[in-house]
Amino acid sequence: MALWNAKIKPQEQLPASPNSPISHATNAPSPSLTSFAGREIKTALDAARELVTAERYDEARRAFEAILEQNPQVIAAYIGIGNLCARQAQYDEALEYYAGASHLNQQLPLPYLLSGMVHVKRDQLDQAITQFEQALQLDAKLSEARIKLSRLYLRTQRDDDALMCLDEAIRQSPQLEEARLLRAQLFAQRGDLTAAICELKIITTVDKTAWQSQTQLARLYFTQQDYAAALVAIQAALEIQKNDPQLQFILGLVCYQLGEYSLAQSALSTALELKPTLQLADVQLVQVLIAQDQLTEARQRLITLSKGKKHLPKIHYLLAMIGLQQHRYPEAVAEFEAVLLHAPDILKNHPELTAISTTVATDQARALAYDVELKTLDLLTVRLLPITAQV
């Protein structure tokens, strides 16, 4: 690779353009940054971008490199190659090309934003924060950088910095959904669910298609055990995202809590059709079947699930409950003890459970004793926490 700094003539700096728009991974700075190079360069850049759109990445890179051979001062070409490198996980090279763009115009925020995104992919969060902060110093209205910076502050437990950053984003754009979603998440993490719900309601009142906010509302209402409100919110989200398995799963949970077992069964079955690996939906579906006294089908599903590796304490607990209801006490005892085997922390925190197997005389009495003790642990509760921040 020809190093970018071997191509650049430092004395030929471009005019500053701090308000250059942010665009998708292969777009470049505004036309003013390339107009000095003439119509031929602009045509060549457009052709290179079309190759990117067509996913002909090797040809696109050669096209950008050809532009730099003709004119090493074209910032858009450096950014174009940097984006192609980042797409292919060639992060060192991507950062080098972004640095080349910054060298040509140190007042341009875009290379700092893109460099920050690369550092995030490498899990170099401190470096990413520095790059996003630099981008905002150059353009304080750059909402994309501010949102990404807020997410990083949350990930690095700088909650106060995140809140200040989000407050500024909302001050600049009161209806910015991402900012209010993140602020709602922060409030929820602090236990202030009322404030979190208020943030989300602002979004959903203005934008009826904001399904992510409706989903978060459903999660928070579910946490508050306001299942009727959760139902309204999740149904609103499903009107927009009908084929989302997670939304169907949440609908199933809510309907189960409301005692609407047929609706719950339908929603959970749909979730599993859309995503067969969503095993927690299968476990919840078993609870719906048990509630409808369909014990044989429930037991068969649980036996199949028990051959996997996920949610084994829940699965064996449900098998034990079916054993109790069917008066199969030896089987119930074996399943309760399987719960303890797959959840060793339970015995660690409740050592009194170990005495049941040796001091209680009959299988029926042992099964009932395990039932009484394990019911207090609430093994079947599903908690719908707000989605954690991702950059």
- Dist. CA 359–CA 270, nearest whole Å: 46
pLDDT tens digit string along 134-144? 999 999 999 99
- Dist. CA 287–CA 281, nearest whole Å: 10
At a CB cut-off of 8 Å and minimum separation 6, what does 209 contact? 240
Return the closest-CA partner of residue 178 out of 208, 155, 146, 226.
146
How many Cα atoms within 13 Å fall on the side-chain side of residue 2?
13
Question: Domain-by-domain residue ranges, the chain?
Answer: 297-379
- Dist. CA 242–CA 252, nearest whole Å: 13
Determine the angle formed by the axes of helices 110-121 and 143-155, rounding to 10 degrees.
Answer: 30
- Dist. CA 114–CA 29, nearest whole Å: 12
Q: 384 pLDDT band (50/70/90 cuts)?
A: low
CA angle (188 as vertex; 185, 193 as ends), nearest 5: 130
pTM score above 0.85: no
Ramachandran quadrant class, 110 (left: phi over 0; alpha: psi -120 to 50; beta: rest): alpha
- Dist. CA 230–CA 233, nearest whole Å: 5
- Dist. CA 147–CA 136, nearest whole Å: 11
Q: Which two tokens stand for residue 18?
A: 């701090």
User: In this model, does residue 118 exceed pLDDT 60?
Assistant: yes
Return the closest-CA partner of residue 135 out of 153, 117, 151.
117
pLDDT tens digit string along 244-299? 999 999 999 999 999 999 999 999 999 999 999 998 999 999 999 999 999 999 99
Give the pLDDT score at 381.
75
Mean pLDDT of 159-181: 91
pLDDT tens digit string along 50-83? 999 999 999 999 999 999 998 999 999 999 999 9
Q: Which two tokens stand for residue 237?
A: 């989200």
Is 268:249 a contact under the CB 8 Å cutoff?
yes
- Dist. CA 321–CA 310, nearest whole Å: 19
User: In this model, does residue 3 exceed pLDDT 80?
Assistant: no
Neighbours of 340 (CB within 10 A): 20
